[in-house]
Amino acid sequence: MSRGDGMFKEGLVLFAARDFAGAAGCFTHALQESPENANYYYYRGVCFQETGARDKAIADYTSALVRQPSACPVRYNRAELYLETGDLGKAEEDFAEILRSAEQKDPHWSALAYLGRGLIRLEEGEVELAVKYLSAAEDLAKMDGDKLLLARIGDELERSGF
């Protein structure tokens, strides 16, 4: 096992214990050994996201996507951060890319992307299009049997007044 792999595994232990600062340090050391490993960037990005370092998280997710462009979890996390920071255009781009790569193959990620697109449309006052996207998200979540996602969609609809 390489030193980078060892540091990554140590980081995963800290990550599981919710010691995100400690885990980020381990992932940083792992990246020094293996700077092309997309997983190392992803996990460090999650650590940064969990600790509120949004810009660092976005940078790490972007680095991971350069190395693995079709990684839906990475792209989704970055889109969520863009939503939080109000960069709706970039969030929309990421959700659209998830739909291009996940459509017909992974209803879970497609449903999440439609949910995100629906939230953007609500934010922009485009209610008719928002309902269309949120309905698509709901249909996919039902097809996938994802009760947690269905509950989240219901919460978002209720919060939006539907």
- Please tell me the pTM assigned to this model: 0.91
Q: How far is CA 18 from CA 29, 47, 58, in A?
A: 18, 9, 20
CA dihedral sign of residues 116, 121, 155, 99: negative
Of the CATH numbers 1.25.40.10, 1.10.10.10, 3.50.50.60, 1.10.20.10, which one belongs to the domain with range 1-68?
A: 1.25.40.10
pLDDT above 90 for 62: yes
Over residues 51-72, the mean pLDDT reads 97
Q: Which CATH architecture has domain 72-162?
A: Alpha Horseshoe (1.25)
Could you tell me the pLDDT band of residue 104, with boundaries at 50, 70 and 90? low
Q: What is the DSSP string of 44-71?
A: HHHHHHHTT-HHHHHHHHHHHHHH-TT-
DSSP code, position 17: T
